[in-house]
Each structure stands twice: as C-alpha cells, then as structure tokens.
Amino acid sequence: MLDILKTRAELTRFLNERRSGISSIGLVPTMGALHEGHLSLVTRSAEENDLTVCSIFVNPTQFNDPSDLARYPRPVESDIRKLTKTGCDLLFMPDAEEIYPEEESWHMELGELERVMEGKFRPGHYQGVTQVVKKLFDLVAPDRAYFGQKDYQQFLVIGELVRQFSIPLELVCCPTQREADGLAMSSRNIHLSPEERKEAVLLSKALFLIRSLANEMSPAEARDKGLELLGSSPLIQVEYLEIAHADTLRPVTDWNEASRVIALVAVRIGQTRLIDNLFIKH
C-alpha cells in the first residue's frame, strides 16, 4: 500500500515509527510527471532497500524561467497510480509553503560545475536543486538516493552537495531510459508536436554517432559530426554539445585524457528544451 503524506511533520512521524525496524531507506526525489525512467529508479530502490520514499515537488527555486515553471506538467493522479505498481512505500508530496515556510538565503560554491553547460544556460538552477535536495536529505535521512543519468551534471552537483556537507548516504546513478527510437524519456517530451518529436531523436543519434567515431576521429572532429547531424534539422537550436571528463566535465581534447568520457547535449525544439548524454568511455 502506498502512503501519501503532504507535511514535514507527517513525514517525520512516519519515518520515526518505522526506522528502528528496518535496515535501509531509499529516496527518489522527483518533480512528478513520472515516466518509465522515474519508475525504474523507484523499482531499483524498492529492490535494494527496506523502505522506499518517492518525493514529488515542482521546486520553484530551480526554475530561472517562470514560464517553464508554469508549463511543467503536474499529472498527480496518474503519478500516484504509477507509483502503486512499483513497490514504493511512501509518496511525499508537499506544497511550496511546506518546503519554504519563510524567505531563506542559500548559496553553495559549486565551482566549474555551475559555470558550464546546464550551469551556463540555466543560471541559478543548481542553487535551487541543491537547496531542495538538501532539505529532502535532512527530512528523510536516506541510506541511498537514486537519480537518473539523463541529468548527469545534476548528479555531479548533488555529489558535491553530499561531499561538502558530509552527508552519510550513497548516491546511485541509474541508466537513462529511452524510447524505442532512442529518445531519452523526459517529462518535457509531452510538449513536443508530432513533427518536433520526430526530430528530437537526433539528440540521441548525435551522441551515438560520436561514440561510434571515437576510434577513428579526435573528440573535436567527432563533436563536429554530431553538430552537423543536429544542424540537419531546422527545428533544432543547439545550446551545447560537449565531450568531457565524466568526473569533472572539463573538456576532452584527446580520448586518452580520461578513463571515463561523456558526451552531453542540450537543444531547444520549438518551446521545449531537451537534454541527453552518453558515456563514450566508462
């Protein structure tokens, strides 16, 4: 049975009543509009922990574009139905006043992670992410927290949060779930028109192309081929396509510079912004 709680007091009481009888708690933070990617995180948590908590909270502090916040899908009843089939034990679904009862200041020094790629194109975004994730970690005190690889830069940012605050938990990065044609599953995909949806698959195609060229071209040459493919669609406006060290997101100029290399992309298709990434070496 899925318990649904909406206040911090209820959450604390629920967890205190159960904590002594279990060995581990898993947390899956989400903003709702759940798809198979989210559900795979919940399922994995349920397999690896005695108690799984999923949170749904559309966090206003991580949106630097008010229209993006307003457009973010909120199919709550559908999300609840999906969660009941995953092995999730508890859904925490607070409103904004419950998470932010009063004005507060928050700033973390995230270094280069906040100045490149998502940090560059969405200024302030990761301050909002770390602000709300720290609150969720404090409230739930999970043993493990699960995040999807699609938001890979976010995963590195949350790793920095855990390191700086010495939070005793394990972060788990789960593989990106893809549609049959390769498009990364995203809550934003519902905004794509049929024509835009058809072109959106070029994101993953560009990434897989780069990986296929890694043995015969330099990173710069492979990146250019990826950009060329994305540029073949008049509907796609590229924000970035980068090949980077997977641990630092610093640019890679030679494949042998790092043992783990990742390619990351962000584009706009019409009014919708999409991101994706793929390990080239892992």
**Residue-range domain boundaries for the chain:** 3-174, 187-277
| Per-residue pLDDT at 1 | 87
> Can you tell me whether residue 277 is helix, strand or coil?
strand
- pLDDT per position as a tens digit, 188-217: 999 999 999 999 999 999 999 999 999 999
| Cβ proximity of 203 and 183 under 8 Å | yes
Q: How confident is the model at residue 65 (pLDDT cuts 50, 70, 90)?
A: confident
Residue ranges of E strands in the chain = 3-5, 25-30, 51-56, 90-92, 144-148, 170-174, 236-245, 261-269, 272-281
- pLDDT score, position 239: 98
Residue 14 CA to chain centroid, in angstroms?
Answer: 27
Nearest one of 241, 247, 277, 269 to 260, comparing CA atoms? 247
What pLDDT does 103 receive?
87
Enter the tokens of residue 120.
Answer: 């560059």
Alpha-carbon distance 244 to 120, whole Å? 15
Residue from 35, 38, 107, 125 carrying the catalytic annotation = 38
d(CA 247, CA 257): 12
- Give pLDDT tens digits for 147-173: 999 999 999 999 999 999 999 999 999
- At residue 228, the pLDDT reads 98
73 confidence band (pLDDT: 50, 70, 90): confident
Tell me how long the chain is.
282
Q: Are strands 261-269 and 236-245 parallel, antiparallel or unpaired?
A: antiparallel
| C-beta neighbour count of 146 within 10 angstroms | 26
Query: For residue 68, what pLDDT band results from cuts at 50, 70 and 90?
Result: confident
pTM: 0.96
In the sheet with 272-281, reading across from the earlier edge strand, the strands are: 236-245, 261-269, 272-281
Q: Which of 191, 212, 190, 192 is nearest to 200 (CA)?
A: 192
CATH dotted code for 3-174: 3.40.50.620
pLDDT digits (tens, 9 = 90+) for 167-196: 999 999 999 999 999 999 999 999 999 999
Residue 145: left if φ>0, alpha if ψ -120 to 50, beta else—which one? Answer: beta
Q: Which fold has domain 187-277?
A: Pantoate--beta-alanine Ligase; Chain: A,domain 2 (3.30.1300)
Residue 258, pLDDT above cutoff 90: yes
Contact between residue 26 and residue 143 where contact means Cβ atoms under 8 Å apart: yes
CA separation for the pair 145, 147 (Å, rounded): 7
At 225, the pLDDT band (50, 70, 90 cuts) reads: very high
Residue 38 annotated as catalytic: yes
Q: Give CA torsion, residues 122, 124, 129, 130, to 10 deg.
A: 140
